[in-house]
Amino acid sequence: MPSVKVYGFSPSFGLPDASPFVVKVLTYLRLAGIEHTLLAGDSRKAPKGKLPYIDDGGRTIADSSFIIEHLRKTYKDLDVGLSARDRALATAVKSMMEEHFYFVMLVARWVDERGWKVISPAFGQTIKKSGVPGFATPFVMNMIRKQVVQTAYRQGMGRHSIEEVEEIGVGLIDSLAELAGERPYFLGSEPRSIDASVFPFVWSVLATPIAGRLQSQMKSKANLVAYSERLREAYFAPGSF
């Protein structure tokens, strides 16, 4: 069976990729035991202008959710046997993390100066690796930062103060911790596709050393820290990515 090629950005802060959506696809592949290779992509050349996308035996699929749908149909469906209620809960939590918490993270990383100070060196390396000459790197970085800040503003999260965004993030972390409970995986004793939408966000916040309330709140949730550690050790052992 050919290996699924995953196109992402680049590793950062001990994470296999800076984007939680790339880590989401890698998580599903690993939970399901599907052979894959992670490659450096270029979002400008990606089918939907965003990463990740995959190449599976010549078939290109963009967007982490469509990718996982393809993997479920073609290789292994981790959600077989889930109750209708758990499926509904998974759908709600997936939206909460990917469409709401993601924008909290976006502001924390790109808008908040404390976040930018932490992520910009790693981001600069990614820009250099993509072939941008050294002298132009700061210019390109600032241009992309402006675009991301504008995206956050247009989406709405970027219109709030940093304190307000942190307040929203803390509320979401509290809810996630309450819903996760003490189960080995988010919905019980087996890995399900929802783990691919929860684990990357928890791991990213814990691993990226941005001063602020998001990381301290995540660290205060022993169950989420243990969940993240468990999945990281089982599926992303050092040297495995």
Q: Which is nearer to ligand GSH, 155 or 220 (CB)?
A: 155
Nearest CB to ligand GSH, comparing residues 63 and 166: 63
Q: Which residue in the set 6, 51, 82, 111 belongs to the binding site for ligand GSH (CB under 6 A)?
A: 51
Q: By CB under 6 A, is residue 130 in contact with ligand GSH?
A: no
Out of 40, 43, 72, 213, point to the residue binding ligand GSH (CB under 6 A).
Answer: 43
Task: Give the x-and-dash track for 11-40 against ligand GSH (CB under 6 A).
Answer: --------x-x-------------------
CB of 171 to ligand GSH, least distance (A): 22
- Strand-strand pairing, 59-62 and 36-40: unpaired
Count of residues in contact with ligand GSH, rule CB under 6 A: 10
Query: Based on C-alpha coordinates, what's the Rg of the chain?
Result: 18
Q: Which two tokens stand for residue 113?
A: 């100066």
DSSP code per residue over 55-107: EETTEEEESHHHHHHHHHHHT--TTTT--HHHHHHHHHHHHIIIIIIHHHHHI
What CA–CA distance (Å, rounded) separates 179 from 182? Answer: 9
Q: Please tell me whether residue 65 binds ligand GSH under the rule CB under 6 A.
A: yes
Report the C-alpha gap between 63 and 240 in whole angstroms: 24
Instruction: List the structure tokens of 90.
Output: 């998974």
Tell which one of 12, 64, 193, 215 touches ligand GSH (CB under 6 A).
64
Considering only residues 33, 49, 58, 209, which one is a binding residue for ligand GSH as defined by CB under 6 A? Answer: 49
> Would you give the DSSP letter of residue 54?
E
- For residue 65, the minimal CB distance to ligand GSH (Å) is 5
110 belongs to the binding site for ligand GSH (CB under 6 A) = no
Cis peptide preceding 238, ω within 30 of 0 = no
In whole angstroms, the minimum distance from the beta carbon of 17 to ligand GSH comes to 9
Decide: is 126 part of the binding site for ligand GSH (CB under 6 A): no
Binding piece for ligand GSH, criterion CB under 6 A, among 63-71, 126-134, 173-181, 203-211:
63-71
As a whole number of angstroms, the distance between CA 23 and CA 205 comes to 13
Q: Residue 27, exposed/middle/buried by CB under 10 A (0-12, 13-18, 19+)?
A: buried
Name the residues that contact ligand GSH, by CB under 6 A: 19, 21, 43, 49-52, 63-65
